[in-house]
A and B are shown apart, each in its own frame.
Chain A
C-alpha cells in the first residue's frame, strides 16, 4: 500500500535548526513535495525534489534519497512565524499526491 510517515509533533527553539523527516512508500514515484500549513489556512508550497540530493532555498532546504524512500526538510534560523504544520507529499505513478498527516512544529522563544 501507499504510506507516508512523518513525526506528529516537534519542538524547537527560536534561532535554532530543525530537521523534519519523512519516509514514503508509493506506487511509483514522481517527486516529493513539502508544504507549510498554518492553522486554519491552506498549504503553501515549500519545495519539490525529484532527484537525490539537497535543494537549498533560503532558510529552508529539502533532501531526497530515492533508494531509501526518505526525505527531510531542514529549517535554519528558526523564527516564531515558522510555527506551523509541515506536510510531506509523494507523487505516485498516476501523478497523484499522497499526503502525510503533517508534522506540527512548535517554536519556543
Chain B
C-alpha cells in the first residue's frame, strides 16, 4: 500500500527557533499533500493544502508567514514553523493523495510529528 513518511517523528525546540518537518510519499507521486494539526483529544484541523510547483492554499486563521510550506517535488512537501512559540506545540500530520487515483481517493497519512516548544 501507499506509504507516507514524516521526519522528524518528534522535536523539542526553544521558543523563537524554526522547525522544518518533511513529508514524503515513498512509493507514489503526490501532486497534492495536506498538512494537519491535532491538539490532544481534538479532531484533525486542516492547515493548508500543498500543491507541487505552486503556492500552498491556507485555511482561514492559519498564518502563511508563520507556517511556510514548500512542495518542491512530487514526493516531498515541507512545513516550516517559523519563530515557534509554546502555543505551536502540537501533533503535525501530513497526508498525500496518489496522483494516479481519482480526486476522491484516499488520503494516505504520515506518522505525524510531535512538536514541543519550550
Answer yes or no: do A and B interact: yes
* Chain A residues proximal to chain B, CB less than 8 Å: 30-31, 33, 35, 40-45, 48, 50, 87, 91, 95-97, 99-102
B110 touches A42 (CB 8 A): yes
Residues of B18-64 whose CB lies within 8 A of A = 42-46, 49
Contact of B109 (CB < 8 Å), options: A30, A44, A48, A101: A44
Flag if A97 contacts B103 (CB, 8 Å).
Answer: no
A-B interface pairs (CB < 8 A), number: 43
Q: Are A99 and B104 in contact (CB under 8 A)?
A: no
Give me 7 A-to-B residue pairs in the complex whose CB atoms sit less than 8 angstroms apart, sorted by A's number. A30-B103, A33-B106, A40-B114, A42-B110, A42-B112, A50-B104, A91-B104
Do A96 and B44 have beta carbons less than 8 Å apart?
no
Interface residue total, chain B, C-beta cutoff 8 A = 19
| B76 located at the interface, meaning its Cβ lies under 8 Å from any Cβ of chain A in the complex | no
Chain A residues contacting B114 (CB-CB under 8 Å) are 40
Which of A33, A42, A97 is the one whose CB lies under 8 Å from B93?
Answer: A42
Interface positions of B (Cβ within 8 A of A): 42-46, 49, 91, 93, 103-112, 114
A89 to chain B, nearest CB (A): 8
Apart from A31-B104, A43-B44: 19 A-B pairs, beta carbons within 8 A: A30-B104, A40-B91, A40-B114, A41-B111, A42-B110, A44-B109, A45-B106, A45-B107, A45-B109, A50-B104, A91-B104, A95-B104, A96-B49, A97-B46, A97-B107, A99-B44, A99-B46, A101-B42, A102-B43
